[in-house]
């Protein structure tokens, strides 16, 4: 029992530190601290110009949605990065259980993404004078946790694809752009065409963003329990699919002798 | 003079060829502004003002030029470092600015693809019908905007020369320029202290020139201002280039190893 736990916690954080070693303050600050604040400001001002939703709508929507950057990029790199460092074959030849091996790397990703969402929410809220009651913050923290977990499940799928595809950065950027449109971060879901709403309801972050907005408006966690449960179920489903994709790609790589080739 | 012009032309063409080699990067360069344009179109559509939708369509189209420039030009020197060609380029008899300038212009020229696809996206997906009232002025405004954005990219490239992670700094400028230069939001909506910053940025005037050309206004003063500011960026960039290279030679730190 202790071995899988060691692989999950210690292995996960060691792998994260080793593979995301390039995330220096010179990258972290511009891309994960300053950029999300400007994304929020951009959409707040577009919203004002278009005369549609309130500032709070865009602040919460974009703060939670921007967490997808660490969820997608870091999760993908925390696994697919083994290939570029020429260590993938050593990892996959080891007898370590795959579930703790892969999922352990998700934990630091979730913590990082939570920080990004919470920090950008706090700072842009202060800049724009958004009044979120202090009593709502624990609830928002839980919503952010579930949302980032859910999105990290999507990142796990990207990581699986990244075992065979070189251009994971392009893939992650495209998914980030799609999440921007489909999650309701900036456009209320009911204003999207029907086919888009159907997609929105089946992807990470949509329900989390809605729950965060309601909690910020004073709703209790009980009031948004349905949204949170849906977000969590979506997260579990994506994580399971991500794990299956990783296993499939591993087996295919062995079968085709293409582990380090792609 | 002729040799310098030839160098600029050949280096520009070479860089355009290099930048268009990767179909993945090309796809992202086109798709990225379309994602933001789509969100903006939905938002302005919800606002119910058809004129603002045309305003957004033109702005979203120009956003792509800056997207194509910001990261690529910002990290231009770092890319040469990775290729191992930076020292060779700096040691070449031609002034380094003449090598870097066409690179920056090439990145902004790639933005024409983004511009065209965003306009087509707005037309065919959202039914935004833009009539260009003064096509001749538009034919002047677009190259002027591309040149001035390229000049801003050049200034960024040399200013970020000492940073290994210049791509992150370039990427960081993407949203602020979109916002401050009035691509999607009228500058008058921004706080008063931001507006002088907007006026000092050439893309602001390029955007205004394109809008004036489309709506039948008077784009010539905006085109002139756009080119003037672009020229100032180039002049500052040349001075910064010399300063940076002198410092790098003195401390033997060009390769940042």
Under an 8 A CB cutoff, do B190 and A180 touch?
no
Whether B71 is covered by a domain: the verdict is: yes
Whether B115 is covered by a domain: the verdict is: yes
Q: Using beta carbons and an 8 Å cutoff, which residues of A are at the interface with B?
A: 24, 26-27, 30-31, 34-35, 38-39, 41-43, 45-52, 167, 170, 173-174, 177-178, 180-181, 186-188, 191-192
Whether A262 is covered by a domain: the verdict is: no
Q: Are the C-beta atoms of residues B224 and B138 closer than 8 Å to each other?
A: no
Write b or e for each residue in B72-87: b if 16 or more Cβ atoms lie within 10 A of its Cβ, otherwise e.
Answer: bbbbbbbbbbeeeebe
Whether B256 is covered by a domain: the verdict is: no
Domain range spanning residue A134? 2-256
Query: Residue B47 is nearest to which of A34, A50, A181, comparing CB atoms?
Result: A50
Query: Residue B171 is nearest to which of A31, A52, A178, comparing CB atoms?
Result: A31
Determine the distance in angstroms separating the CA of B36 from the nearest CA of chain A, rounded to an integer.
7
**pLDDT value at residue A104:** 87
Per-residue pLDDT for chain A (262 aa), expressed as one digit of tens each? 688 899 888 988 888 888 887 888 888 999 999 999 999 999 999 999 988 889 999 999 999 999 999 999 888 888 888 887 888 888 888 888 888 888 888 888 899 999 999 999 999 999 999 988 888 999 999 999 999 999 999 999 999 888 888 778 889 999 999 999 999 999 999 999 999 999 999 999 999 999 999 999 989 999 999 999 999 999 999 999 999 999 998 888 888 887 766 5
Whether B91 is covered by a domain: the verdict is: yes
Look up the pTM and report it.
Answer: 0.91
Number of domains in chain A: 1
- Radius of gyration over every alpha carbon of chain A, rounded to an integer in angstroms: 19
Q: Does B42 touch chain A (CB under 8 A)?
A: yes
Per-residue pLDDT at B6 exceeds 90: yes
Number of domains in chain B: 1
Per-residue pLDDT at B73 exceeds 90: no
Average pLDDT on B196-225 reads 94
ipTM: 0.91
Under an 8 A CB cutoff, do A27 and B165 touch?
yes
Determine the distance in angstroms separating the CA of B25 from the nearest CA of chain A, rounded to an integer.
7
Give tens-digit pLDDT for A46-86: 999 988 889 999 999 999 999 999 999 888 888 888 887 88
Whether B257 is covered by a domain: the verdict is: no
Query: Residue B43 is nearest to which of A27, A47, A174, comparing CB atoms?
Result: A47
Show the 3-state SS of chain B.
CHHHHHHHHHHHHHHHHHHCCCHHHHHHHHHHHHHHHHHHHHHHHHHCCHHHHHHHHHHHHHHHHHHHHHHHHHCHHHHHHHHCCHHHHHHCCCCHHHHHHHHHHHHHHHHHHHHHHHHHHHHHHHCCCCCCCCHHHHHHHHHHHHHHHHHHHHHHHHHCCCCCCHHHHHHHCHHHHHHHCCCCCCHHHCCHHHHHHHHCCHHHHHHHHHHHHHHCCCCHHHHHHHHHHHHHHHHHHHHHHHHHHHHHHHHCCCCCC
Domain range spanning residue B196? 2-251
């Amino acid at each position: 029992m202790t071995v899988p736990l060691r692989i999950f916690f210690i292995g996960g954080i060691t792998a994260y530190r080793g593979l995301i070693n390039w995330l220096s303050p010179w990258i972290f600050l511009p891309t994960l601290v300053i950029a999300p604040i400007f994304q929020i400001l951009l959409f707040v001002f577009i919203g004002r110009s278009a005369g549609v939703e309130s500032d709070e709508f865009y602040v919460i929507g974009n703060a939670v949605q921007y967490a997808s950057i660490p969820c997608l990029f870091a999760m993908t790199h925390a696994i697919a990065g083994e290939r570029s460092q020429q260590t993938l074959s050593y990892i996959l030849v080891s007898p370590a259980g795959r579930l703790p091996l892969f999922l352990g790397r998700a934990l630091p990703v979730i913590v990082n993404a939570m920080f990004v969402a919470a920090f950008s929410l706090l700072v842009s809220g202060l800049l724009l004078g958004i009044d979120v009651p202090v009593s709502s913050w624990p609830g928002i923290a839980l919503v952010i946790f579930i949302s980032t977990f859910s999105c990290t499940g999507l990142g796990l799928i990207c990581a699986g694809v990244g075992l065979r595809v070189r251009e994971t950065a392009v893939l992650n950027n495209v998914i980030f752009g799609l999440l921007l449109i489909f999650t309701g971060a900036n456009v209320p879901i009911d204003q999207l065409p029907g086919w888009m709403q159907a997609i929105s309801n089946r992807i990470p972050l949509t329900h989390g963003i809605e729950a965060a907005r309601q909690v910020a408006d004073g709703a209790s966690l009980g009031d948004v329990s349905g949204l949170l449960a849906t977000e969590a179920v979506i997260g579990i489903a994506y994580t399971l699919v991500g794990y299956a994709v990783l296993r499939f790609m591993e087996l295919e790589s062995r079968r085709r002798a293409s582990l380090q080739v792609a | 003079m002729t040799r310098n012009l030839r160098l600029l032309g050949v280096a520009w063409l070479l860089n355009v060829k290099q930048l268009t080699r990767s179909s993945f990067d090309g796809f992202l360069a086109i798709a990225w502004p379309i994602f933001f344009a789509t969100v903006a179109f939905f938002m302005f559509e919800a606002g119910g003002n058809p004129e603002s939708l045309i305003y957004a369509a033109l702005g979203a189209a120009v956003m792509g030029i800056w997207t194509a420039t910001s990261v690529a030009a910002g990290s231009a020197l770092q890319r040469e470092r990775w290729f191992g060609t930076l020292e060779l380029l700096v040691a070449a008899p031609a002034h380094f600015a003449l090598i870097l300038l066409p690179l920056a212009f090439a990145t902004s020229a790639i933005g024409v693809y983004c511009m065209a696809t965003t306009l087509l996206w707005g037309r065919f997906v959202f039914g935004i019908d833009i009539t260009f009232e003064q096509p001749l002025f538009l034919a002047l405004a677009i190259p002027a905007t591309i040149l001035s954005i390229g000049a801003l990219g050049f200034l960024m490239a040399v200013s970020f020369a000492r940073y290994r992670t210049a791509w992150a700094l370039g990427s960081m400028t993407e949203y602020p320029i979109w916002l401050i230069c009035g691509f999607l939001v009228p500058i008058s909506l921004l706080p008063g202290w931001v507006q002088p910053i907007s006026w000092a940025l050439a893309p602001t005037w390029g955007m205004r020139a394109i809008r004036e050309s489309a709506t039948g206004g008077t784009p010539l003063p905006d085109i002139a201002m756009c080119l003037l500011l672009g020229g100032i960026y180039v002049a500052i960039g040349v001075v910064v280039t010399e300063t940076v290279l002198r410092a790098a030679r003195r401390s033997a730190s060009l390769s940042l190893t």
